[in-house]
Structure 1
Amino acid sequence: MTENPHISVASGFYDALAKGDLDILRGLLTDDVVFHVPGRGPMARDYSGKEAVLGYLSHLAEATTSTLRLEPQDYLAGSDRVAVVLTIHGERDGRTLNDHGLQLFRLSDGKISERSSFPYDPYSVDEFFA
């Protein structure tokens, strides 16, 4: 069975993120991409545009000295969306983050145009990055 093309894009996003490959990530995003990051912490806000999103992803890697891992468990695909159930692990300043949640991607013309994150415990994510 052939993998859904939307799942391939989302999977490619996580693979490139794990490798820290900004060139591949850049190619997976639309120019007007928006990432919605929930919570009340310093990282929580909407990131609009390719450069803002790449800056956010780079900041995540820097803040965790590249220990942050988003590990997909399941993918659910629709006509223009992919929901990803994932676990989240990271270390920062002697603290550890272990959470799970969901990320919802919207795709346009084979690229990511929007991502919304829904961590199980957004307050623990806020505290981790504070």
Structure 2
Amino acid sequence: MGSTETLTVARRYVDAIAAKDFAALDGLFAEDIVWHQPGNNQLSGTHRGASAVKEVMGRTMAVSEGTFELAATGAPMVNGAMFALPVHFSAKRQGAALSMDGVDVLRVEDGRIAEVWLFSDVQEDEDAFWNGN
């Protein structure tokens, strides 16, 4: 896939995030997507397949009591079939709040997002939030 096609997918990803359009996001994911969630918390690990990614997203919303927010903080940076996106994410739950910068790195294949790596600014703080500490 060329950089132009990757940029098109990247822009669709950014637009779907901004609109909180989960159906559009789901449509961008390859059926065999691989999602690398960092850290040592209940969401961490490598999640394989669109249904597994939907499950981890559902748990994210459940733990955060529906407050999880993700926003791009800059333009996507494309390198061949991959793009990096600076992001800010936040969430609240009873007794705790999370507000953090990160970077999402995504690999595009056949016009769909095939693999995702997430990076968080202070992983220990993110782990504490998702683990209920």
TM-score, normalised on structure 1?
A: 0.88
Q: Could you tell me which amino acid in structure 2 is paired with residue 25 of structure 1?
A: L
- What SS does the aligned partner of 2:73 have? strand
Structure 2: 5+ residue stretches without partners: none
- Answering whether residue 38 of structure 2 is matched by residue 41 of structure 1, we say no
Per mean C-alpha deviation after superposition, the further-off stretch among 48-57 and 70-79 is: 70-79
**Residue 84 of structure 1 aligns to which amino acid in structure 2?**
L
Q: What is the CA-CA distance between 1:24 and the residue it aligns to?
A: 2.4
- The 8 Å contact of residues 71 and 86 in structure 1, kept in 2 or not, is answered as yes
Matched, 1:128 2:129: yes
Question: C-alpha offsets along residues 72-92 of structure 1, whole Å, 9 cap, x if unaligned?
Answer: 011211211110101111101
Equivalent pair of 1:35/1:48 in contact (CA under 8 Å): yes
Unaligned 5+ residue runs, structure 1?
Answer: none
| 1:45-64, Cα deviation, whole Å (9 max, x unpaired) | 11100100011111111111
Q: Give secondary structure in 2 for the equivalent of 1:58.
A: helix
Partner of 2:67: helix, strand, or coil? coil
Matches within 5 A, 1:67-78: 67-74=67-74, 75-78=76-79
Contact 2:86–2:101 at 8 Å: present in 1 too? yes
Quick one: distance in 2 between partners of 1:53 and 1:15? 19
Q: Which residue of 1 aligns with 2:30?
A: 30
1:13 to partner: Cα distance: 4.2
User: C-alpha root-mean-square deviation of aligned residues, in Å?
Assistant: 1.9
TM-score, normalisation: structure 2: 0.86
How far is the alpha carbon of 1:65 from its aligned partner?
A: 1.6
Give the Cα separation in 2 of the matches to 1:47 and 1:14: 20
* Paired amino acid for 1:41: N
Tell me, in whole angstroms, the C-alpha distance in 1 between the residues paired with 2:24 and 2:94: 29
Q: Distance in 1 between matches of 2:113 and 2:122?
A: 25
Q: In the aligned structure 2, how far is the partner of 1:48 from the partner of 1:24?
A: 19
After TM superposition, the runs of 4+ consecutive aligned structure 1 residues lying more than 2 A away are 23-26
Structure 2: which amino acid aligns with 1:86?
A: V
Matched length: 126
What secondary structure sits across from 2:119 in the alignment?
strand
Are residues 1:52 and 2:52 paired?
yes
| Cα separation, 2, equivalents of 1:28 and 1:6 | 8
